[in-house]
Structures are given as C-alpha cells and as structure tokens.
Structure 1
Amino acid sequence: MDDNTIKKGITELWNNAYTNYDNCYAHGMKSEGEKLEWLRLLDRLIETKPSEVLDVGAGTGFVSLLLAEQGHNCKGVDLSENMLSVARAKAEKAGYTNVSFAIADAEDTKEQSNYYDVVINRHLVWTLPHPEKAIRDWKRVLKPGGKLIIMEGNWHYSRPSDKLQVFLGRCLLSIQEKRNAFSHNGDYDADLKKSLPMLKSKNAKRLSNMVEDAGFAVSVVALKDVDRAEKKAMPMAYRLLNPHKRIAVIGIKEN
C-alpha cells in the first residue's frame, strides 16, 4: 500500500472511532485514582514547569488536557479531525487557555525546529508506517536537551498465559454484554496492518533501540502505578482482556 492510502485508512478508522473512544478502558479516564497516577507520572517525567509540549497523536486530548491542568503549554496534533473535535470541546469545558489542537501527520509535523521542551505521545507508535521517520521529526522539533516521551504497551500477548487470559475475557464479555466479543469490527484491515511495522512483536521490542539509534540518550520507565490504577477501575472481563504492561521510553536530545 502507498503512504497516501495507508494514512487515509488510519484517518478514516479514527474518525469513525471518536464517539466511543473515551468510553473504552485503557483509552479514556475511568477513575480519580487513575487520573491521580497519570498526574504523578507526568510530574515525574516533566520536571520543568511550564514547559512547551507537543502531544503527537493527541486523539481526544487525554495527555494534552492533563498537561494543561499541570500548567504546561501544550499543542496536540492528530490526523483525525473528529478526535480533535472532542479534545477541543473538553478543553473549552475545562476553561483551559494553555492548550490547542491542530491536524498534523505524526511523521511530518511541520512544527518549528528546536522549539519544544518535550514531545510526548501515548499509544501512537504502533499506528505508524514509518516510526523511525517520526522519531527523527520529533527530535528535530525538540530543543537541545529536550525530552522525548513515548508511552507504549506490549499489545501482542504472545505468551500462552496472556492468550488464555484474553480468551477467557472475551468469553466472559460475550456473556455479560450479550455481544460477540471475538469480533474485530473497528480494527485495522489486514492489508493496512501489514504496513504497520510496530504491530510485529519483534519490532515493538526494539522501540528503545530505535530511539537510541536516532541519537537520543535513552532510559525506560515501567508504568506500573498507572497500569495498576487503570485495571483497578476495570470490571473483571476487561481486566482479563487487558494483560498489557506499559512503559515509557524516554529520550534526551543531546546538545
């Protein structure tokens, strides 16, 4: 598939998903305990306030709005206008004037070079056809000494125990919600998935190496407290469906 077709497919999927995105566990905020852990995490990861932050793949504004609440100046960009419309509405309702949203390609943001203190994203890299290109662009827009924060999870569930857990979760969910929880409606189609290298487990495991190869000084932080709070808010079926563990890959742009 050519890049235009890939990006069009990605945009269409998220433009269709916007109405229900925040209702999904592991996407929207489900409890005060979860919000508290996210705020604590972002406090640890971004020490300087206020910072100029670019939230790439901002979606409905989950990270952008937390950063705005903490006093940072944040710009969120995404390919999906529908997702961003939700983010704008939430920002307006909260009365935030230090956050804005715009359409942009995560792999070519068109943002000013050497401008941002922090570039951050959550659950984005697996959706990119050219993650290395994206990482290079994020480095370009960071100031010397700036920080890249990539938050991702092990979404592949390749261990037999994880596969069994997810299967049991789908069975339980099908019974409880009287629907086919084994359906893949709303997922990327097979051809599109082939164009997304980070969907392959071997590539996802290389994420920290990819950031290092781009010239960053790299460290990795496990998001245990966030995962724990998130899963505490989930009903049992959804807890079984989500055995993922998340990390933050942190890269410092050297001077």
Structure 2
Amino acid sequence: MNDKTIKKNITRLWNQAYINYDDCYAHGLKSKEEKKEWLRFLRKVIGKQPCSILDVGAGTGFVSLLLAELGHTCKGVDLSENMLSKAKEKAEKAGFHNVTFAIGDAEDTKEPADQYDVVINRHLVWTLPHPEKAIKEWKRVLKPGGRLVIMEGNWHYNRLSDRIQVFFGKCLITLVEHRNAFSNDGDYDKDTKEELPMMKSRNARRLAQMVQDAGLKVTVIPMTEVDRAEKQAMPLRYRLLNPHKRITVIGVKE
C-alpha cells in the first residue's frame, strides 16, 4: 500500500470519528481534576515562559487549547479537516486568540526550519506509517535548544492480565450499553494496520530510543497523575477497558 492510500485511509477514519471523539474516555476531558492534572503536567514539561508551539496531530485541539490556556502561542495541524473544525469551534467558544489550526501532515509539516520552541503531540505516533521520519521532521522545525514532547501509551496489550481485563471491560460495556463492544467499527482496516509499525512490534517503550537515534537528548517522564485522574472519572467498565500507562518522551535539540 502506498503512502497516499495509507494517509487517505487514516484521514477518512478520523473525519468520521470527529463527532463523538471528545465524548470518549481518554480522548476528551471528563472532570475538573483531570483538567487540573493535565495543566499541571504541561506546566511541568514546558515551563511557565510563553513558548511558540507546534501541535502535530492536533485532532480536536485537546492539547492546543490547554496550551493556549497556559498562555502559549500554539499552531495545531492535522490531516482531518473535520477534527480541526471541532478544534476551531472550541477555540472560538473559549475566546482564545493565541491558537490557530491548519491542515497538515505530521511527517511533512511544511513549516520553516528552526521555527518553534516546542513541538508536541499526544497519542499520535502509533498512527504514523513512518515514525522515524516524523521525529526527524519535528527536530528540523525546532529551534536550537527547543523541545520535542511526545505523549504516548502502550495501547496494544501483550500481557495476558491486560487482555483479560480488556475482555471483561468489553463484556460489561456490551451488557450495560446494549452495543457490541467487540466490534471493530471505527478502527483501521487490517491492511492499513499492517503499514503502521507502532501497532505491531513497536510501542511506547521504543520511543525514547527512536528520539535518541534522531540526535536529541532524551528524558522520559511517567504520566502517573494524569492517568490516575483520567481513570477516576471512568466507570468501572471503562477502567477495565483502558489498562494503559502513558509516558512522555522529551527530546532536546542541541
């Protein structure tokens, strides 16, 4: 499958998913405590000094809007026009003038070199056909001394205990919500998945090495408190469905 077809398939899925995306647990904010922990975490990894930030794979603007609230100037790019329409709507409703959104490819941003203090993304790398290429591109657009911030999780569970937990979560969702939680609707087709390396043999644990291989100085930070606040807002069935643990990989361009 060529790149054009892969990205067309990816874009189509997210153009369909935008309607309910923010309603899903682990996607949109579900409690004041969760928002508080996200803001605290972003202050920790970015700092209080106002920065110019590129949010790649911005989706409905989750990260971009939190960064705007913290006083940073942020541009969010995404392949999905529909996801970005949601982001723009939310920014307008919040009255933010320090955030913009545009169609853009995370692997080829078309941004000038040495442009941003920070390049950031959340839950993006697993859906890229060429993650190493993307990391090099993000390094290119960073200013010297700038930071790459990648927030990712192990979404594809290999441990038996996790698989059992997810199975019971799906059973409960099916019973309580009267829908088939075992359906693959809203997921990538098999051929597309085969082209996404982070959905196969690679996962979030590989990210630190990939960022280091791109020539960045790496730090890894667990997202324990964000995960805790997020899961506290979930009913039991969704806590079972989501045993993931997230990390943030920070790479500094020297």
What TM-score do the two structures reach when normalised by structure 2? Answer: 0.99
Q: What are the within-5 Å matches in structure 2 for residues 230-241 of structure 1?
A: 230-241=230-241
What is the distance in 2 between the residues matched to 1:102 and 1:210? 27
Q: Displacement, 1:49?
A: 2.0
How far 1:205 sits from its partner (Å)? 2.7
How many Å separate the matches in 1 of 2:96 and 2:204? 35
1:204 Cα deviation from its structure 2 partner: 4.0
In the alignment, the residues of structure 2 paired with residue 204 and residue 67 of structure 1 have an alpha-carbon distance, to the nearest angstrom, of: 23
Q: Deviations over 1:80-106 (max 9, x none)?
A: 000000000000000000000000000
Deviation at 1:202, TM superposition (A): 3.5
1:121, 1:151 within 8 Å by CA — same for their partners in 2? yes
Structure 1 runs, 4 residues or longer, greater than 4 Å off: none
In the alignment, which residue of structure 2 is the partner of 1:39? 39
Percent identity reads 71
| 3-state SS, counterpart of residue 121 of structure 1 | strand
Structure 1 unaligned blocks of 5 or more: none
Distance in 2 between the 1:160 and 1:236 partners? 19
Give distance in 1, aligned partners of 2:23 and 2:168: 22
In structure 1, the residue matched to 2:3 is 3
Query: Residue in 1 aligned with 2:252?
Result: 252
Secondary structure at 1:206's aligned position in 2? helix
**Alignment size in residue pairs:** 254
Residue in structure 1 matched with residue 163 of structure 2 by the alignment: 163
User: Map of 1:19-30 to 2, 5 A cutoff?
Assistant: 19-30=19-30
Q: Partners of 1:214 and 1:138 in 2: how far apart?
A: 10
Residues of 1 paired with 2:29 and 2:47: CA distance? 23
Tell me the residue number matched to 2:227. Answer: 227
Output the CA distance in 2 between the equivalents of 1:202 and 1:120.
20
Other-structure match for 1:190: 190
What SS class does the counterpart of residue 205 from structure 1 fall into?
helix
Matched letter for residue 88 of structure 2: R
Contact 1:208–1:218 (Cα < 8 Å) also in 2:
yes
* Structure 2, unpaired ranges of 5+: none
Shift of 1:203: 4.9
